[in-house]
Amino acid sequence: MAEPGDRPARMLDGGLVLRTAAPADLDQIGALLTERGEADDAVDHRLVVTDPDLGWGACAVVVDGSQVVATATLLDEAVRVGDVVLPAGQVELVAVATSHEHRGLARALMGWAHRRSAERGHVLQVMIGIPYFYRLFGYEYAIDIAPAREVPHDAAERLAAGAARAGEVGAGAGQGGPVVPLLREATTADLPALARLQEAAQAGFDVAVPHPAARWRALLGQSASALRVLERDGAVVASARVRPGDGLLVAEPAAVDEAAARDLLAALAGEAVASGEPLSVVHRAGTVTGRGWDALLEPADDAAEQYYLRIADPAVLLDALRPVLARRRVAAQFDAERLGGALLISTFGAHYRLPVVGDGFGPVETGGPMQGPGVHRGFGVAPDQLGALLLGGRGFAGLRRLRPDVYGDREVGEALFPPQTADVLSYYLPW
């Protein structure tokens, strides 16, 4: 049995078949996603499988005869760490029919997604998902999700009133009057400006996951959220992804300057006040909107919210990150001797040696179990903590305080594995 792309379909227990999805499955997949999630998920799915960069190969189904009983989708992502860009995968739109739960179908689909991800050269996987579940498939919480913070009602009213006054003045002032910024729905023509705004917003983060081109296209057609742009003098100067419903949520805000950030918030506050909805905005620390809005907002809830990360092969990830690690070593002025000739990381069941070569690190050499890396001036890092160590907000200093299975030379560890600031743009909004 073959399927598009020559990927063989897999026979599962009970005569079920796992295969790449096909156009004839569209309605059944949509119905399943709607039944187990939201109607918006069916729209998101259609946008993925009809996109030229992703297409039907990005989605798998399990069928019981002619009935689709489970589905999952793998999106292509890129994770930037410093100046290294890592190809990555994101599993999305996972659903199993209630009639077929607890039979290993989600597990089988995760296996499909991870095989496809490896074939596409992904170095890691990042995702948002229901709590705990994905840890069963090699994921671990690693990257903090930026908090959504409420705009107090009186502040929203003040902002909205200010925006309305500016509108009246602008309208009454005729040709020579002040230019009132215009908030409108984004169109295809805005995509380059939207991407530029996000690039600028993410530039200051150590770790960034931008929207790939396929996602930008999908976001224009998505029903779960809407893309808005703020125009000033005919140019796009701010943007946001807005989700109404359970209050007005402003996600992925970006602005070119303080005035654009203020005008964006005022215009959105106007909408929230007019519809009687509370307003929350995602706080992107250190960005133009983050700095501009911070003082106005309620404090963030301190409950942990994190993206999941999966590292299929630490050697591949460490190899890709060699330039970043080398720059940190040079900046800290650690010579080969200080490191014992190599950066050694043991995940206990295996170990990884990056020999010091000139100003850099040579290719990763993989070895077997190593219980005591400290003897070789190496680091012990539990495999499920490696993602948090390399991409997370605690760094070595924070992790070693929390976890007995993350240890090593303190000075070297703090210099080579500093806390990372991160900004992730995902299809599904985690708030």
Ligand X SMILES: CC(C)(COP(=O)(O)OP(=O)(O)OC[C@H]1O[C@@H](n2cnc3c(N)ncnc32)[C@H](O)[C@@H]1OP(=O)(O)O)[C@@H](O)C(=O)NCCC(=O)NCCS
Kindly list the residues in this chain that would bind ligand X in the complex (CB under 6 A): 36-37, 94-96, 101-107, 129-130, 132-133, 136
Q: How far is the CB of 100 from ligand X (least distance, A)?
A: 7
Q: Are 240 and 250 in contact (CB under 8 A)?
A: yes
**Of 138 and 167, which has the nearer Cβ to ligand X?**
138
Q: How far is the CB of 316 from ligand X (least distance, A)?
A: 25
Q: How far is the CB of 41 from ligand X (least distance, A)?
A: 9
**Of 101 and 411, which has the nearer Cβ to ligand X?**
101
Helix, strand, coil % over all residues of the chain, rounded to 5: 40, 30, 30
Burial class (CB in 10 A: 0-12, 13-18, 19+), 395: buried
**Of 103 and 196, which has the nearer Cβ to ligand X?**
103
Q: How far is the CB of 32 from ligand X (least distance, A)?
A: 8
**Residue 257 half-sphere exposure, CB side, CA atoms within 13 Å?**
4
- 187: tokens are 């169109």
Q: Are 181 and 237 in contact (CB under 8 A)?
A: yes
Q: How far is the CB of 16 from ligand X (least distance, A)?
A: 11
Can you tell me the distance from the alpha carbon of 183 to that of 221, in angstroms, rounded to the nearest whole number?
A: 18
Q: How far is the CB of 37 from ligand X (least distance, A)?
A: 6
**Of 107 and 184, which has the nearer Cβ to ligand X?**
107
404 contacts: CB under 8 Å, gap ≥ 6: none
Checking DSSP bridges between strand 351-357 and strand 182-185, what pairing results, if any? Answer: unpaired
Name the DSSP class of 24. Answer: G
Checking DSSP bridges between strand 207-209 and strand 67-81, what pairing results, if any? Answer: antiparallel
**Of 134 and 396, which has the nearer Cβ to ligand X?**
134
Q: How far is the CB of 11 from ligand X (least distance, A)?
A: 16
Can you tell me the distance from the alpha carbon of 73 to that of 54, in angstroms, rounded to the nearest whole number?
A: 10
Beta strands in 119-160 (DSSP E): 124-127, 139-144, 148-151
Query: Of 234, 237, 226, which Cα lies nearest the Cα of 193?
Result: 237
Q: Measure Cα distances from 26 to 44, 73, 106, 334, 425 in Å.
A: 12, 13, 19, 56, 26
Instruction: Using CB positions, name the residue nearest to ligand X.
Output: 106
Q: How far is the CB of 129 from ligand X (least distance, A)?
A: 4
